[in-house]
Structure 1
Amino acid sequence: MSGSRYHQRLIISWDQLHRDVRELCQRLVERDIKGIVAITRGGLIPAALIARELDVRLIDTVCIKSYERMEQGGLEVLKGVDHDGEGWLLVDDLVDTGRTARAVRQMLPKAHFVTVYAKPEGKPLVDQYLTEVAQDCWIQFPWDMGVAYVEPLVDQEKR
C-alpha cells in the first residue's frame, strides 16, 4: 500500500473484475451508445469488457498523466478527443479523489461517465458506478499483480 492515507486494502481478482463489469453493464444495456472513451490506463480493461458486453466497436482514449508527487498534483493531457462526449460512455476503473475525473469531465461534459469502483470524494463526479469503497482503501487491481508459487508451510519449516 502506498502512502499513509490508506488503511484498508481491497484485492480485486480477474474474475471479480469481470463479474463487477458485467453487473455494471446490466445497468447500461438500454443506453444508446455511440462509442466508449477509456481513461488511460486504468479504464482500458474495463472499457474493453464493457465494449464486449454491450457490442460497442468504436473505442477511443483520453490519456492523462498525473504528477502526484508535485505539490499541486498537476495533470497533463497527453491525448484528448475532438468532441464533447454526447452519446459516448466515458469509462475508468476507479474514481478516487476526483482530480482526474474533474479534468476529463470538463473535456467531455456530455459523456455518461461510469466507473466500476468509487470512493466518496470522487463519486459525485461520475454518473454511475457499481461499488463504493472507503476513501482510505487501496484497491489492488489484477493487472498490478502477478501470480507466484508459494511453498507449502511444511516445506518452509524444513529449512
Structure 2
Amino acid sequence: MAPQYYTVTWDQLHRDARALAWRLIDTGPWKGIVAVTRGGLIPAAIIARELECRLIESVSVETYNEESIGHPVVTKAPTAAGDGEGFLIIDDLVDTGTTARVVRKLLPKAHFATVYAKPAGKDIVDTFVTEVSQNTWILFPWDTDAAPQFVAPIARAPGRGA
C-alpha cells in the first residue's frame, strides 16, 4: 500500500500540542518533562509552558533516518529523571513503538504522551491526541519547506481515474 501523507503546519502542531496539554493537566503535577529528541523537543516546549513545568530533560534514541531503519541506540540518556516517577515523556509521534519501548525501559514509571500515534505503537504510550493510519507519513513543519504549496484535490490522485 502506498504511503499517505499528512502535512502538519506550525499552527496545527501548536494547537495539537496544546490539546495534549489539556489532556495532561489533571494527571500531574509533574516534576519535569523528558523530551524525546528531536521530534519531541517542540511539543515538549509548548506543553512545558502550558503546564508551567520548568525542568526539561531530553533523551535521544537513534532508530532511523530517511534512508534506513536500524537497531535503536540511546545516544543521550536523561540525567535527572531517575526511573521516571513524576515525569512526563513527550514525543511528537509513536510509530512502530521502537523508540517508545527503549524510552519506556529507561523511565518505566513516567507518563508517556505523544501528539500523534499510529496503531502499531499507540498501546505503548499513555496519552495521545490524534491517531493516523500506519501507512501515513506525517510531514512535520521542520521537515518541509515553509512556503505554501498547491495540493491537488483527492479526486485527482494517481490511480483514481481522474
Shorter-chain TM range is 0.7 to 0.9
> 1:29 aligns to what?
25
2:72 aligned with 1:54, yes or no? no
3-state secondary structure, aligned to 1:129: strand
Q: Are the counterparts in 2 of residues 102 and 125 from structure 1 also a CA contact under 8 Å?
A: yes
C-alpha root-mean-square deviation of aligned residues, in Å? 1.8
Deviation at 1:94, TM superposition (A): 0.1
Aligned length: 145
**4+ residue runs over 6 A deviation:** none
Q: 1:103 to 1:86 in 2, by over 3 A?
A: same
Deviation at 1:149, TM superposition (A): 7.4
Q: Unaligned 5+ residue runs, structure 1?
A: 151-159
Name the aligned partner's letter for residue 12 of structure 1: V
Deviation at 1:29, TM superposition (A): 1.2
Deviations along 1:92-125, one digit per CA (max 9) or x if unpaired, are: 0000000000111100000000000000000000
Deviations along 1:11-38, one digit per CA (max 9) or x if unpaired, are: 0011111111111111111211000000
Name the aligned partner's letter for residue 60 of structure 1: E
Q: Are the counterparts in 2 of residues 95 and 117 from structure 1 also a CA contact under 8 Å?
A: yes
Q: 1:145 to 1:27 in 2, by over 3 A?
A: same
TM-score normalised to the size of structure 1?
0.86
Q: Are the counterparts in 2 of residues 9 and 137 from structure 1 also a CA contact under 8 Å?
A: yes
> 2:37 aligns to what?
40
Task: Give the % identical residues.
Answer: 58
> 1:80 aligns to what?
77
TM-score normalised to the size of structure 2?
0.84
Q: Are the counterparts in 2 of residues 117 and 132 from structure 1 also a CA contact under 8 Å?
A: yes
Decide which moves more: 86-95 or 76-85. Answer: 76-85
Structure 1 Cα separation of the partners of residues 64 and 141 of structure 2: 23
> 1:19 aligns to what?
15
Structure 2 Cα separation of the partners of residues 78 and 6 of structure 1: 32
Structure 1 Cα separation of the partners of residues 132 and 2 of structure 2: 12
Q: Are the counterparts in 2 of residues 6 and 138 from structure 1 also a CA contact under 8 Å?
A: no
